[in-house]
Structure 1
Amino acid sequence: MRATVWTVANTLGVVAGTPGELLTALLAAPRRPDRVVLPAGAPGVGELAAGLRALGPVEVVWEEQERPAPAGPPRLSDPAAVCAADPLRVTRAYEEEPGAHGGLRAAWLRAGQALVRDDQTPPGRALALLAALPEDAAAGVRDELSALARDAPWSVAGVREGRVTALTVCGGQPVGTGDRRVRALACLGDGTRIELDERGRLRTPAAPAPRLVEAVAATLATHPATALAAVGDTVLTGDRMGFVHAFSLAGLHQAAPHSGRVTALAATGGPRAYSGGADGTVRLWRPGADEDRRPVVARRPHPVAALHARGTALAVAWADGLVELRDRDAARAVRTFRPGPAVRAVALLPDGTLAIGTDTSRVRLRPA
């Protein structure tokens, strides 16, 4: 069943592991599909079709699948074998076989949506599995996956299990939370940590709050925000109408770079602000500069899920599960990674690693 859901979710540009999660993701998406192609005869596909039709006027089309010649079961405890085998067959084998297999089964079922993609490679599967391995995985499995992932564009620098809902860097140190009520974290130049809650209100663990934070909090109490960032003495917020607001003691600057909800913000010195939206664009904005100069930095047919910037580098997470590291000064302009689960937050750390937060873990990747 997971293989079917992952395959359909990849086709539709969302992240989901169960039929319920798939339907919820489609309901929350800016645009619902008019037509969905389902693999005829796949496990659980009838239940999935009924759920999709319940969304509204969705045309469900059945596609006959090629029937490969029968083959023996993949060696589920062999990292090289599972990375090279048919990923749909591996998924079904792990669903039927409850053994731990050195941690490979848990990692596969966690990262599976990234593993079954048509554009995935054996080194890419090894990297995704390495990032998804449980803490008690067998050392031999971890070592073999590391060897198999040598040709991947990243290496895994660390993994910490547990939910992550927001990430940032404060005082040179990563700061994160797994609190479902926190939508975003940010830090001002003086170290003041601020949070955006699920209602779009601003709060800070420190008391008393700086005057600027109090002023922004008062504004958001009546005009809730959908995104948050901070740099120096500037607090940036985004809203559901596509506006970005830069608050500082010197005044307020505003722009409307997006069509629809602002879903993520990031900022660096200058200040330079990056905004991501449900419209699938990431734009660069300099508060107080020419209103007409808000160039598109990235564009995809999926909403932006998270942003973080450091120096010339920008990390972008998309709603379909893709993470990009963009750096205009790097030899490789764009590096990509898919962890499998939905990405909730990203952060570029001072040691050069990229932290990625999901509902199951925080992974640190180092560009290879």
Structure 2
Amino acid sequence: MFLAWLAEHATEPGTDTLRRVHGLVPLTGHSAHTTAWQLAEQLQVAARTPGELLAAVAQDQRRTVIVLPDLHASTEPAAIEELACELAGFAHVRVIAETRQPSATLLAQAPAVMDLTDPQWTDPDRHTAWAATAQTAENTVEPAPERPDQANPVDLDDPASVCAADPLHVTAAYEATDNPHGGLRAAWLRSGASLTRPQTPATRACVLRAALGDAADPRLQDSLAALAQEAGWNVRWNRVRGDINPPWPGPVHAMSAGAARQNNTLAVLDHQGVVRLLLTDSGHPQGRLAHPVTEASALTVTQDASTILLGPDGRLSLHDSPTATQSSGIAGLMDQGTSTWERILREAPPGARITALASDGDQLATGGLDGTVRVLAWNSPGVTHHSTLLHDAAVTALAMLSTPAGPDLVYSGGQDGRVRLWATDQEPLQSAVAERGCAVVALAAAPAEDKVALAIGWADGLVEYTVTGPDSGTSRRSFQPGPPVRALSLLPGGDLMIGTDESLIRLEPC
């Protein structure tokens, strides 16, 4: 009751910063994983495990208050106590936990303890009256009605049953067994941070379908696709960790479909700096760049299928595509001169700490730590420069789009949680295209007939997809795969590619 009162009054609009509660998870029925998932959603970060939650909270130094009622009623009190103690160890975090019996783990942290049975917190007369009422109620109370999932236990082999059931109950059941249940268990636990959010069974089925591995019972794909018909997305194909045919390409740190308009390929950068080329219609491998760039953080594929990589020192490097045909004879000799992209890269500010990049046509956009976006455009016989300050913090993502009847557009996402739009021949729009309380981690833009499609990946794992037309307004939909989103690409026709540390997914809006 005390924590309910505290949470109610500390989450109201206008609550003083020093009294605000930022995360609240009533722990009845929760495991350590589901607790981490709930806190990650409320704190607007992406985390699949308690360890990832701790890493995310450590990076965000803002004052954070977390309230955890009913610790004694959780399914894993010891594991949640450990998580709570780790969180409380950060100087900027305060944790308020409620338990009937403080453990040695909790007491070892030397917490401030408020024992509500202590006479100093209790009015003797009111407590006596309450105790008598409680005793009478205990003697006459009828058995509590069973919860729906208790009366009708979930069938962990049946996608329809799993998608309609209480997600906490499903998670606990899958965590308590090693039975793969046809592949549903692995898919659920891989994407559980998304599945435990309030949503329809159709949306939950779509997320599960996107997390299903190729070792799963093949009948599950059709079953989940049928259940997901009202979700707004169709999973065209997916690759998850452990897949063999075609192979999972590894963790996706960045990707670019710039060359897809010419040869149906997607360039994917992994955690070791290796760039692989995949067919966009199936995910089958088509080769890789000859040399990895260790600790590379971003890439863009140019119109001529060259790849530009952003290295750990903030410098850019140009790489030929392994699938490009090499000219011979006189044409080969003529091609040995300085290319357009070499000229453009020479104009990049020396020593600048670049944090994001994108390209379109003969133009390259770069973003910096100071929030500035620069565009270098080839305009024979030289390179033209444009720059403007778009963010109050580092630029974290960029997308470029050439429009047939209008100016070239640059979309910019920042650590400040804003997406800005800039046409290089005009002043940037003053209002943000989108804004949330967490950083932008990925952007993609592409033409869709007479419209513009824009995909935004946020640090809490949400992907927002909008299509805007001059006469039809804006349509919106979203998808949250579960693992943190690392990269996005939009393909011709509007299909969306999502890359995470665990998966690569192609979604068709429908």
Query: Is TM (by shorter chain) over 0.5?
Result: yes
Distance 1:331 1:132 in 2: 32
Structure 1 match to 2:14: none
Q: Would you say 1:49 and 2:50 are equivalent positions?
A: no
Name the structure 2 match of 1:281.
418
Q: Give, in angstroms, the shift of residue 199 of structure 1.
A: 3.6
1:35 counterpart (61, 65, 75): 65
User: SS in structure 2 opposite 1:125?
Assistant: helix
Distance in structure 2 (CA, Å) of the matches to 1:316 and 1:184: 16
Shift of 1:53: 1.5
Give the 5 Å matches for 1:86-235. 86-117=166-197, 119-161=198-240, 162=248, 163-171=251-259, 172=261, 173-180=264-271, 181-206=295-320, 210=339, 212-213=341-342, 216=345, 219=348, 222-235=351-364
Q: How far is the alpha carbon of 1:254 from its aligned partner?
A: 0.7
- What is the CA–CA distance in structure 2 between the aligned matches of 1:309 and 1:49, rounded to whole Å? 41
Which residue identity does 1:347 align to in structure 2?
S
Sort the Cα spacing of 1:108 and 1:340 in 2 relative to 1 into closer, same or farther, 3 A: same
Indicate conservation of the 8 Å contact 1:201/1:220, yes or no: no
Quick one: structure 1 residues 214 and 61, their matched pair in 2 at CA, closer, same or farther if it must change by over 3 Å?
farther
Structure 1 residues 83 and 100: CA distance shift in structure 2, 3 A? same
Deviation at 1:195, TM superposition (A): 1.4
Q: Post-superposition shift, 1:63?
A: 6.3
Pick from 89, 93, 116: which aligns with 1:58?
93
1:177-236: CA deviation from partner (whole Å, max 9, x where unpaired):
242233222123333221123442212222977354455367466112111101111111
State the TM-score, normalized to the length of structure 2: 0.67
1:328 aligns with 2:442: no
Q: CA deviation at 1:174?
A: 3.7
Contact 1:247 1:253 in 2 (8 A): yes
| Secondary structure at 2:82 match in 1 | helix
CA distance in 2, matches of 1:82, 1:152: 16
CA contact (8 A) 1:202 1:217 kept: no
Pair 1:170–1:68, CA change in 2 (3 A): farther
Query: C-alpha displacement at 1:74, in angstroms?
Result: 2.3
Work out whether residues 257 and 294 of structure 1, in 8 Å CA contact, stay in contact via their aligned partners in 2.
Answer: no
Contact 2:267 2:301 (C-alpha < 8 Å) held by counterparts: no
Q: Relative to structure 2, which stretch is displaced further, 74-83 or 106-115?
A: 74-83
Task: Report how many residues are paired.
Answer: 363
Report which stretch shifted further, 326-335 or 10-19. Answer: 326-335
Q: Counterparts of 2:385 and 2:254 in 1: how far apart (Å)?
A: 26
- Preserved CA contact (<8 Å) 1:38 1:45: no
TM-score, normalisation: structure 1? 0.92
Deviation, structure 1 residue 18: 1.9
Amino acid at match of 1:7: Q
Q: Larger Cα Rg: Structure 1 or Structure 2?
A: 2
Contact between 1:155 and 1:365, CA under 8 Å: does it hold in 2?
Answer: yes
For residues 36-64 of structure 1, the C-alpha deviation after alignment (integer angstroms, 9 at most, x for no partner) is: 12353232221111111122132212368
CA 1:178–1:188: 2 relative to 1, 3 Å: closer
| Cα distance in 2, alignment partners of residues 25 and 217 from structure 1 | 37
Residue 16 of structure 1, CA deviation: 1.0
**What amino acid maps onto 1:9 in structure 2?**
A
Structure 1 residues 253 and 332, CA gap change in structure 2 (3 angstroms):
closer
Structure 1 residue 88: Cα displacement: 1.1
Structure with higher RCO (Cα < 8 A, 6+ apart) = 1
CA distance in 1, matches of 2:313, 2:203: 38
In structure 1, the partner of 2:156 is 76
- The answer to whether the Cα contact below 8 Å between 1:114 and 1:120 also exists between their aligned partners in 2 is no
Distance 1:226 1:152, change over 3 A: same
Moved more, 305-314 or 188-197: 188-197
Between structures 1 and 2, the one with greater strand share: 1
Q: Are residues 169 and 115 of structure 1, via their aligned partners in 2, closer, same or farther at CA, if it must alter by over 3 Å?
A: same
Shift of 1:284: 0.4
Counterpart of 1:259 in structure 2 is 392
Give the Å deviation of 1:34. Answer: 1.9
Identity %: 41
Is 1:348–2:490 an aligned residue pair? yes
Q: Which moved more, 1:91-100 or 1:196-205?
A: 196-205
Please report how far the alpha carbon of residue 350 of structure 1 lies from its aligned counterpart in structure 2 after TM superposition: 1.2
RMSD of aligned residue pairs (Cα, Å)? 2.3
- CA deviation profile, 1:281-313 (whole Å, cap 9, x unmatched): 1010112323x5354111111110100100211
CA shift in 2, pair 1:247/1:123, >3 Å: same
